[in-house]
Structure 1
Amino acid sequence: MDSNALSSVIEKQIGHLCLKDFPCGRGSWVSSEAGTEGGGTEETDALLDLLTCSHSPWTFDGSWSPQAAALRRMAVLSPERLNDDCLYSNFTALRVMDKDVSVIDKGLLKFSKLEELVLSVNRISEVSSENLPRTLKTLELRANCLSTLDGLTRCPPPHLRYLGLGSNSLRSQEDVSRLTGRHWPQLVCLDLSDCEFEEQPALLKALRTLPSLRTLVLQGNPLALASCYPGLAVESLPQLSCLDASWISPDERQSFKGLAKMSGLVTNQASVTVSVGRMRGTTGPVMSVNQNSPDFPFVTYSYFITYEIPGDKTPNYQKCKSESDFDGRGTEHEVRDADLQSNKNSDKETLRAETCDLKVDTEEVVHDAVQELRRSTAKLMWSECMDFSDTQMCKVSDLGGLKRFLNLGLHLRIEEEKVTENKVTSAPDEASAKTSKSSKMKGTFGKESSIKSGSNKEKSKDKTKTSVPALHACSRRVLGSVHVPLHSLVRGGRHVNVLCDFGALHPESAMEAHHLLEKELGKKMKVEKEDEESKRRGDSGPQQKRTSASKAKGKGGKGCEDAVVTDHPVSDQPEAVTVELRVELERWQSASEGMHGGA
């Protein structure tokens, strides 16, 4: 007999009952009928206590069948009754879960009075209805490997009232056609949760033929992600009393009245909204430049949030250009080079961050996940609380891909963009200086001089524009990434509100400012030390030079000490960075919403 056959596993469970061993069965441990007690014999009550006492070494796990305890009691009280026919006919319920069963064989037919059979979490790929007892009323096949209902519906148990098919790969039109009243005339409860059904109208049309259906579970299917669910199911199945473990109220049924007959109704589209709120905890400062130091590079930092959401249009590569906005500054070649470098840096940091957080097979994500669109919030300058107030909505027609996306979850990233602007200034030439002086002279040729000076001004302006180029460099890096689980939306949830915790982050602006401050403090201490030594020697020359130099720098010199200004102090112990996130799955609450949604 196959070790993975159902009857083999049940025989092992029955053998563990020890119906012929102590304290059950007929043995020398049982007192004689005449009342004489020999050595080692036990009273019947004492033997029964050994079966039920929690501290007894003869206790057993009887969760696989409610009749197991009754059989052991019978083996103590009337062991002579336990022949094979009586043994198998006593079982009315069997629960064989997670036992690696792959085949339901004919040995199950020995249980002639079996009414409940639970075979969850096994490896059953096909069910032959000829091997099922005709007395079955409950059949649970959840979390198996079923991909077809062909064998199950050839000769199904006629009195079956509950059928559990959840968490199986059922999706085809043939499977839908086998869920009708012709196959299950007395079916009251049907569990199809966490399958792969996508066509809601076709499935509801088949289920409407089940005359006795009162309880239905469809959550976890791709079709349950559509905006018209559950309204369309409530309207299409008037005999239904309970949907997805929720009772259907008369008000709810009335609110969806007429939805199923609405023309142009969109039944295979879902709408997902992602909202990013406030971000707190990022470490400052923002770097700025002294206006009196034009040669020093002008550095700005901005922060934004990026993520991917499912969608039906606009491939990812079309979003790159819009996300790299330089406000028309710099040459085309410089902008292109900056974009390429920025994208390379961003891709490296994103890959590094996502590799740590997303522990799934990359190839599986590429082939199975729905097409994802990269979205980005507006870029904001640093502040203690940055309110993005960004809302992105997408409509998805690939409901199966959307389900896989939600099960994987969303990855939220904080990115920092650094823009460096180098201004190259040049001194005016002698010709322009002479021209400017001549324009101020008044004489008999005033008109001529004014015309010439005007032309010279224009030339000098043009010359100034070409002689003072502005070079731009843009780079991005991912500061942190978090994974946001969204599987609750697949399980029937409407929205996910979460405060994403990125931990303590270290923006580049803060680190640079920290290093510059340390450098300035070191220079200042060095200068003070030299001043003290010069005072001791009585030499005032170097001190006066340093004093005049510091005054010159204060008046707008080109020293880099005043070129970098920190607007905010740098904290030694940065706080955890948090971002507010809300992901919502649209559900129509009435037939009127379906009218607007379908339009």
Structure 2
Amino acid sequence: MSSNTLSAVLEKLIHRLCLNDFPCGYGTWRKTKGSTEGAETEETDALLDLLSCPHSPWRQDGSWSPQTAALRQLAVLTPERLHTDFIYSYFTTLHILDKGVSVVDDGLLKFSKLEELVLSANKISEIPAENLPSTLKILELRDNWLSALNSLTSCPPPRLQYLGLSSNSLGSHDVVCHLTGTHWPQLVCLDLSDCEFQNQQALLDALSTLPCLRTLVLEGNPFTLAPSYPGLTVDSLPRLSYLDASRISPEERCSFSSLSKITDLIEDRASATVSVGRVRGIPDPSMSLDENAPDFPVITYGYFITYEFLSHQTVDLCCSQKVSESKCDAAHVTEDIFSDADLQSNKNLSKHRTSKLTWAECMDFSDTQTYIVSDLGGLKRFFNQGLYLTLEEEKVLSWPAASEDRKGGKEKESPIKSGSTKDKDKKKKSVPDLVQDAPIRRTLGSVHVPLQGLVKRGHKVDVLCDLGTLHTESELEATQSLEKDLGKKIKEDKKKEDKESKQRGGSGTKQKNTAAFKGRGKGNKESETDVHTDNSVSVQLEPLTVELSVELEKWQSAAEANQLTLPHKSKQPDLS
């Protein structure tokens, strides 16, 4: 018998119960009526205590079946009853989780009274229905390797009321026809979460034939990202009581009434709106400017946010986008459709950049972009991976148009500074034309934003992104300069000490010099600390934060669906 078969795993688990060994079963350890009392015998109550005592070495893990504890007690009280057929028929529930089972063989039929079978997190790719006991009422196959249901529906257990198929690759059209009332006449609860179903309408047509279905779990499937979910499901399955662990209220059912009749307006697409709000925590760049600096260059700072989003088509809803921004600085819109495999290589990610804002203690970008995505499977994978948001600073140096000698960092003295005071006043009034250098950009911070909440039981994610604490530009330059000077000084001191050591010679002198150098090194460290204390600028305590929200469009009623889909049908191109 192969070790990866279900019956082989069950045999091992039953053997570990030690039903015929101490303290169970027959043996010299049992005190009977005709036996002579001795130190080697135990009372029945003492034997039972050994089965359940937390620190007993004979206590067994019975999590794979709630019947194990009672069966071991029977092995102490009435061991004569525990023949093979009795043991198999005693089990009504089996939970075999993550045991490497890949084959459900006919050995399972020995469990003639089995009602609940849980085989989650195994390697099962096929379930032969003829190997399942006819008494089965609950079958859980979560997180296996199933891709088809042909063998399971050939002669399914007639009394099955619960079927769990979540986290299996069952999204093909061929699977849908095996989820009908013809195969499952008694099915009350069905779990199809994370099964990669994309065609919502086809699946609902099949599920509507299940006469006893009352509880349904569909979360995690790509089509649940569409605006029509869950409304279309609620209206298509009038007998349903619970959807994705939530009770369907009468008001909800009424609001979605007749939604299933406008299927010609329903598309397998998603609409996601990304909003960037207020940013706080950026140090004032003017604090790093020297008051005695020359009038030119004129330094300006701008701030913007970038992120990448999966997109087939983008609708710009940002009222604050500046027309003066160049096209490359505005939203990057992608209207090509890419394959699912391209997600890993980021070929179908559209990079969006907000408008630039000048510094303020609180900068409100009010940037909103809506992305229309028809690749629902790709969108689900994107949400599971999350979004990366980056805040950047753009520094621009501007010079008078007449200035030509700015090579090598030597700027020509501004004409504003020469001449009399009257000339100065005249020239200040007439501001010269400025020529801008290429912008200098630096990243102030980047953060990963998890979006898994949009895949399951949520249509909106609000995040206050924390990008850490920033320092001013002068702080960074001072720190870098300080580190460079200290490093140079330490190298010079070491070189000097090595030279003196060679000239003096002698081990004793060398030791003294070494000690002296160590003392100097200590002094250098103290000096370094002092410099840091004296020259450092006060640290910006407020963390850098960015407000971000991602919201999926969800219809709240059939009337809203009519209002939203008709304009979309008439105005938006078909990208699929």
TM-score (norm 2): 0.76
| Counterparts in 2 of 1:240 and 1:327: CA distance versus 1, 3 Å | closer
Q: Following superposition of structure 1 onto structure 2, how do residues 195-206 of structure 1 map, counting pairs within 5 Å?
A: 195-206=195-206
Gaps of 5+ in 1: 316-321, 329-338, 343-362, 428-463, 517-568
Return the match for 2:359 from 378, 382, 386. Answer: 382
**Are 2:456 and 1:491 aligned?**
yes
Q: Following superposition of structure 1 onto structure 2, how do residues 137-156 of structure 1 map, counting pairs within 5 Å?
A: 137-156=137-156
Who is 2:248 aligned against?
A: 248
**SS of corresponding position for 1:22:** coil
| Residue type at the aligned position of 2:348 | Q
**In structure 2, distance between residues paired with 1:571 and 1:291:** 21
Contact 1:142–1:166 (CA<8 Å) still a contact in 2?
yes
Q: Where has structure 1 moved over 3 Å in runs of 4 or more? A: 286-294, 322-328, 363-370, 506-516, 569-575
Who is 2:56 aligned against?
A: 56
**In structure 2, distance between residues paired with 1:571 and 1:153:** 71
Return the match for 1:584 from 532, 543, 551. Answer: 551
**Are 2:229 and 1:229 aligned?**
yes
**Are 2:367 and 1:402 aligned?**
no
**In structure 2, distance between residues paired with 1:73 and 1:292:** 90
Who is 1:299 aligned against?
A: 299
Who is 1:503 aligned against?
A: 468
Who is 1:392 aligned against?
A: 369
Who is 1:472 aligned against?
A: 437
TM-aligned CA deviation for residue 597 of structure 1: 2.2
Contact 1:108–1:131 (CA<8 Å) still a contact in 2?
yes
**In structure 1, distance between residues paired with 2:13 and 2:232:** 45
Deviations along 1:293-328, one digit per CA (max 9) or x if unpaired, are 56x22221111111112221379xxxxxx9997779
| Residue type at the aligned position of 1:504 | T
TM-aligned CA deviation for residue 178 of structure 1: 0.6
Contact 1:288–1:299 (CA<8 Å) still a contact in 2?
no
**SS of corresponding position for 2:9:** helix
| Counterparts in 2 of 1:509 and 1:387: CA distance versus 1, 3 Å | farther
Contact 2:272–2:370 (CA<8 Å) still a contact in 1?
yes
**In structure 1, distance between residues paired with 2:326 and 2:107:** 77
What is the root-mean-square deviation in Å for CA atoms of aligned residues? 3.1
TM-aligned CA deviation for residue 291 of structure 1: 12
**SS of corresponding position for 1:262:** helix
Who is 2:400 aligned against?
A: 423
TM-aligned CA deviation for residue 365 of structure 1: 6.8
TM-aligned CA deviation for residue 33 of structure 1: 3.0
**SS of corresponding position for 1:9:** helix
**SS of corresponding position for 2:223:** helix
Q: Following superposition of structure 1 onto structure 2, how do residues 181-220 of structure 1 map, counting pairs within 5 Å?
A: 181-220=181-220
**In structure 1, distance between residues paired with 2:133 and 2:43:** 39
**SS of corresponding position for 1:224:** helix
**In structure 2, distance between residues paired with 1:128 and 1:248:** 35
**In structure 2, distance between residues paired with 1:368 and 1:112:** 52
**In structure 1, distance between residues paired with 2:290 and 2:69:** 84
Contact 2:313–2:372 (CA<8 Å) still a contact in 1?
no
| Residue type at the aligned position of 2:352 | R
RCO comparison, higher one (Cα < 8 Å, 6+): 1
Who is 2:489 aligned against?
A: none
| Residue type at the aligned position of 1:393 | T
TM-aligned CA deviation for residue 263 of structure 1: 5.3
Contact 1:283–1:510 (CA<8 Å) still a contact in 2?
no
**Are 2:574 and 1:597 aligned?**
no
Contact 1:116–1:136 (CA<8 Å) still a contact in 2?
yes
**SS of corresponding position for 2:265:** coil
| Counterparts in 2 of 1:173 and 1:364: CA distance versus 1, 3 Å | closer
Contact 1:167–1:193 (CA<8 Å) still a contact in 2?
yes
TM-aligned CA deviation for residue 424 of structure 1: 4.5
| Counterparts in 2 of 1:589 and 1:424: CA distance versus 1, 3 Å | closer
**In structure 2, distance between residues paired with 1:275 and 1:512:** 34
**Are 2:248 and 1:281 aligned?**
no
| Counterparts in 2 of 1:53 and 1:265: CA distance versus 1, 3 Å | same
TM-aligned CA deviation for residue 573 of structure 1: 4.3
Who is 2:424 aligned against?
A: none
**In structure 2, distance between residues paired with 1:515 and 1:42:** 79
Contact 2:285–2:301 (CA<8 Å) still a contact in 1?
no
Contact 1:298–1:421 (CA<8 Å) still a contact in 2?
yes
| Counterparts in 2 of 1:509 and 1:597: CA distance versus 1, 3 Å | farther
| Residue type at the aligned position of 1:99 | K
Deviations along 1:101-154, one digit per CA (max 9) or x if unpaired, are 111112111111111100011111221112111211110000111111122112
Deviations along 1:141-196, one digit per CA (max 9) or x if unpaired, are 00111111122112211111100000111100111111001111111100001110
Who is 1:24 aligned against?
A: 24
**In structure 1, distance between residues paired with 2:281 and 2:201:** 49
**In structure 1, distance between residues paired with 2:161 and 2:45:** 40
TM-aligned CA deviation for residue 386 of structure 1: 1.2
* Comparing 500-509 and 134-143, the one that deviates more: 500-509
TM-aligned CA deviation for residue 594 of structure 1: 0.8
Deviations along 1:545-596, one digit per CA (max 9) or x if unpaired, are xxxxxxxxxxxxxxxxxxxxxxxx9643453211111111221111111112
| Residue type at the aligned position of 1:397 | S
| Counterparts in 2 of 1:426 and 1:369: CA distance versus 1, 3 Å | closer
**SS of corresponding position for 1:375:** strand
**In structure 2, distance between residues paired with 1:244 and 1:396:** 24
| Counterparts in 2 of 1:220 and 1:101: CA distance versus 1, 3 Å | same
**In structure 1, distance between residues paired with 2:82 and 2:459:** 55
**In structure 1, distance between residues paired with 2:87 and 2:97:** 21
Q: Which has the larger radius of gyration?
A: 1
TM-aligned CA deviation for residue 240 of structure 1: 0.5
Who is 2:417 aligned against?
A: none
| Residue type at the aligned position of 2:553 | E
**SS of corresponding position for 2:560:** helix
| Residue type at the aligned position of 2:463 | V
**In structure 2, distance between residues paired with 1:79 and 1:8:** 24
TM-aligned CA deviation for residue 423 of structure 1: 2.3
**SS of corresponding position for 1:395:** strand
| Residue type at the aligned position of 1:102 | S
**In structure 2, distance between residues paired with 1:369 and 1:192:** 29
**In structure 2, distance between residues paired with 1:244 and 1:144:** 21
Identity of counterpart residues, as a percentage?
Answer: 59
**In structure 1, distance between residues paired with 2:192 and 2:433:** 71
Who is 2:6 aligned against?
A: 6
TM-score (norm 1): 0.73
Contact 1:270–1:399 (CA<8 Å) still a contact in 2?
yes
Who is 1:106 aligned against?
A: 106
TM-aligned CA deviation for residue 100 of structure 1: 1.4
| Residue type at the aligned position of 2:539 | D
| Residue type at the aligned position of 2:469 | A
Contact 1:500–1:578 (CA<8 Å) still a contact in 2?
yes
Contact 2:160–2:184 (CA<8 Å) still a contact in 1?
yes
**SS of corresponding position for 1:260:** helix
Contact 1:323–1:376 (CA<8 Å) still a contact in 2?
no
Contact 1:284–1:509 (CA<8 Å) still a contact in 2?
no
Contact 1:91–1:114 (CA<8 Å) still a contact in 2?
yes
**In structure 2, distance between residues paired with 1:581 and 1:3:** 52
| Counterparts in 2 of 1:131 and 1:206: CA distance versus 1, 3 Å | same
* Comparing 504-513 and 188-197, the one that deviates more: 504-513
Contact 2:471–2:539 (CA<8 Å) still a contact in 1?
no
**SS of corresponding position for 2:457:** coil
Who is 1:129 aligned against?
A: 129
**SS of corresponding position for 1:415:** strand
| Residue type at the aligned position of 2:555 | W
Who is 2:264 aligned against?
A: 264
Contact 1:92–1:114 (CA<8 Å) still a contact in 2?
yes
Who is 1:96 aligned against?
A: 96
| Residue type at the aligned position of 1:475 | I
**In structure 2, distance between residues paired with 1:365 and 1:93:** 44
**SS of corresponding position for 1:171:** coil
Who is 1:46 aligned against?
A: 46
**In structure 1, distance between residues paired with 2:63 and 2:322:** 59
